[in-house]
Amino acid sequence: MGQTRLYLTAPREQAESIFSILEAHFEDDGLPISIFEPDEDSGIFQISIYAEDDVDGLERRVRESLADVSPLPPLEREAVPEIDWVSHSLEGLRPVRVGRFLVHGSHDRHLQRIGDIAIEIDAGLAFGTGHHGTTAGCLSALSDILKSEHPRNALDLGTGSAVLAIAIARAARIPVLATDIDPIATEVAASNVRLNRVASLVETHTAPGFHHAVFARKKPFDLIVANILARPLMALAPAMANHITPGGSLVLSGILERQRRAVVAAYGGQGFRHVRTQAREGWVTIHMKR
């Protein structure tokens, strides 16, 4: 079944308010929510939320969450064509170079240089090709960390396409546990792990947060990277502290610039200290140590 997009159209200020409400209300559901300006410089934005099933139920929840918004713009819906967006987009994307890493599609293998740590991402459904600011920020942080630190193992929580897990495995040659809440993402991650010939180092599992028996067997981790969203990251702070080695490095992303202080405070309360924050395209990547 394809996705359905529910969307509202509003001027910038109201659109940003609606987006913030929906983001807070639905963030824990894992539903994609976006805001964009269809016509550049028009000042009119669309706020979209996507669902694969029970669209009527989602529409009711959206209306309930926006009950205090007046006047409420029309809530419209449209079917989203079933397109393999990563496959479609990789055809036109250039390789991404971040630190020592090169992320590329099969069509750009010939562009590898001596010294590159190359990561080939096969066409798939999962998010994370290295072109997004959060993924690129994590790659930059990992490139810096792995120059001076020598972790014995690592965790990529919310692995998506496994770009970060593969990067760690290829750069440090250490065991990496890669998990995602989405079973489709886990399948794509496993495929990319095999494609990059690091299956002996990277183990993939479907797991929400730390709720899987594999964590008890693998912890503690010297290095953890989690590129998800600010709200679940803050909720996971105690569990992160419980699963990282004293002195271990933690890389967090999927965080908007305005959310940085809250995330740093949540982890500071668990004994982490801030090392560095990098900003890209309105997103931040935070390096902390326990």
CATH code: domain of residue 238: 3.40.50.150
Would you state the pLDDT for residue 94? Answer: 65
Give the 3-state secondary structure of residue 210: coil
> Given 62, 79, 96, which residue is the final one in a domain?
79
> Facing residues of 204 across strands?
178
- In terms of domains, do 169 and 210 share one? yes
User: In terms of domains, do 62 and 103 share one?
Assistant: no
| Phi–psi pair at 226, nearest 5 degrees | -140, 110
Strand arrangement of the beta sheet that strand 44-51 belongs to: 33-36, 44-51, 4-11, 76-79
- Residues 104, 211: one domain? yes
Q: Are 15 and 109 in a shared domain?
A: no
Q: Considering only CA atoms, which of 288, 290, 280 is closest in space to residue 255? A: 280
Instruction: Identify whether residues 62 and 97 lie together within a single domain.
Output: no
pLDDT of res. 28: 73
**pLDDT tens for each residue of the chain, 290 residues long:** 567 889 999 998 999 899 889 988 887 776 778 887 777 668 898 998 988 788 999 999 999 999 999 899 999 999 876 655 445 544 545 678 888 898 887 777 877 888 889 998 864 444 455 546 788 899 999 999 999 999 999 999 999 889 999 999 999 999 999 999 888 889 889 999 999 999 999 999 999 899 999 999 999 999 999 998 898 999 999 999 999 999 999 999 999 888 999 999 999 999 999 999 999 878 899 999 99
Into how many domains does the chain fold?
2
CB 207 within 8 A of CB 214: yes
Residues 125 and 194 in one domain: yes
Where is the domain boundary, 49, 79, 109? 79
Same domain, 21 and 99: no
DSSP helix/strand/coil, 287: strand
**Pair 66, 103 in one domain:** no
Q: Are residues 138 and 9 in the same domain?
A: no
The residues pairing with 67 across neighbouring beta strands, listed in sequence order, are none
- CA pair distance 260, 256, nearest whole angstrom: 7
Residue 126: its pLDDT value, please?
42
Residues 72 and 107 reside in one and the same domain: no
What distance in Å separates the CA atoms of residue 223 and residue 69, rounded to the nearest whole number?
Answer: 43
pLDDT at 40: 64
Same domain, 164 and 65: no
Residues 27 and 128 in one domain: no
Q: Which of 31, 50, 79 is where one domain is finished?
A: 79
What is the span of the domain harbouring residue 54?
4-79
What is the value of pTM for the model shown? 0.70
Query: For position 108, what pLDDT does the model report?
Result: 76
Q: Return the CATH number at 61.
A: 3.30.70.260
